[in-house]
Amino acid sequence: MTAVARLLPPAGWAMVLAAMILTAMGLLGIYAGEAEAGVVPVNTLRQLVFLVTGLAAMTAVQIINYRRLGHWSALLYLVVLILLALLLVAQKTSLAPFIVPRKNAYRWIFIGPLNFQVSELAKIVYILALAWYLRFRTNYRTISGLFVPFVLTLLPVALILKEPDLGTSLLLPPTLFIMLFAAGARKRHLALFLGLTAVAAPIFYLSPLMGEYQRKRIEVLLRQNDNDPRWHLNEGYQLTQSKIAVGSGGLAGQGFREGAFFRHDLLPEEHNDFIFAVVAHQWGFLGCNLVLLCYLVIFVAGLTIATMTTDPFGRLLAVGICALIFVQTAINISMTIGLAPITGITLPFVSQGGSALITNYMALGLLISVARRRVIDIARRPFEFTDEELVFDE
């Protein structure tokens, strides 16, 4: 095996190439929206710096043995909870200049000229902690044994929700479900989980945990076919414009920096939540399919890595990261075309934003770390159970 292959296995090359294509499309979309004669494209340059930082972070993470990170996962999880709690405290007591609101949300911690979004880091740390907890246990195959995984999930979900950040908080429960399924949790228990979620959804909608503006976002989804033109110019404006941008792309799109949406700045948050609409408007159906193909490559390569290792922790870590990327991608694209509420979720590797881009490349680094260290344990394949097996608490 060559030194290059040891540094980056074939599945790693495929994922990195797909991620770089996605980021390049995002950079072009950001540049198209801000490039004017004599104006420095600040956002594009910032995103390029974030890309270089993300690649450096990915390289550093994949060099570290992922099992070492597992040993530190509980401490990292605790640190993230403390940081999320500080964001909540800052809403009541000023913690400036370290924590200040942006658009009435407390999501960032500032250290001099640098800042980072805690919830982005929390997603990766949560998967590390959950995978480490589940790796050798079988007690989660009982109802009572699911208590700890649910608590590990609900704590960051509640804190992130109060920032407020509805989008990121919605990513963790599906990730938990997929990881439990991969770990061999009983299907009837998972079905009960889905049933309770369906019952809890309307209760949560009416509870004080959900803000009024978050309820309005759900109403936008339900009223998107409303015939009232005034509604489409107000509450429904963003979704209406997004769907027009996607539909007007046609087969091959309007062309780079072409089309009414760039000439007249018709789409709010075009570089963040709605970057997929920008891709569709510029490059049409073909460009959208290229984006989906890149995500498919990352997803398949990640699951291939998961099946290639017999280490329970490595397998769950890979499955969790794949689940997170898949769920986030599905929700973002769905909200862009009117199939899901507008929740502020960014499109992985494509949307503008430093914390998200760096964290996404760190996640790829973890997958590559698992691929480079295919531990062969002398034992049966992990997470294969029969219903007749006894379940022991660790």
Ranges of each domain in the chain: 8-35+43-372
With 50 as the cut, is the pLDDT of residue 5 above it?
no
Alpha-carbon gap, residue 231 to 237, rounded angstroms:
8
Residue 342, pLDDT > 90, answer no
**Lowest model confidence (mean pLDDT) among 188-202, 261-275, 334-348, 363-377:** 261-275
**pTM of the shown model:** 0.88
When pLDDT is averaged across residues 380-390 and rounded to a whole number, the result is: 51
Q: Please give the structure tokens belonging to residue 34.
A: 């801000």
Averaged pLDDT, 290-314: 92
Secondary structure (DSSP) of 290-342: HHHHHHHHHHHHHHHHHHH---HHHHHHHHHHHHHHHHHHHHHHHHHTTSS--
What average pLDDT score do residues 329-350 get?
Answer: 89
In whole numbers, what is the pLDDT of the chain averaged over residues? 83
Measured CA to CA, the distance from residue 381 to residue 146 in angstroms comes to 22
The 10s digit of each residue's pLDDT in 68-105 is 999 999 999 999 999 999 999 988 888 888 888 887 78
pLDDT in the model for residue 218: 77
Phi, psi for 311 (deg, rounded to 5): -75, 120
Quick: pLDDT tens for 205-231.
777 766 677 777 777 777 777 777 777
The Cβ-side half-sphere exposure at 73, using a 13 Å CA radius, reads: 23
pLDDT digits (tens, 9 = 90+) for 101-148: 887 788 888 887 788 899 999 999 999 999 999 887 776 677 777 888
Flag whether pLDDT at 162 surpasses 70.
yes
Residue 197 pLDDT > 60: yes
Q: What is the pLDDT of residue 38?
A: 56
Per DSSP, which regions of 79-225 are E strands? 108-111, 114-117
Query: Which structure tokens are listed for 298?
Result: 């990352």
pLDDT at 6 exceeding the cut of 70? no
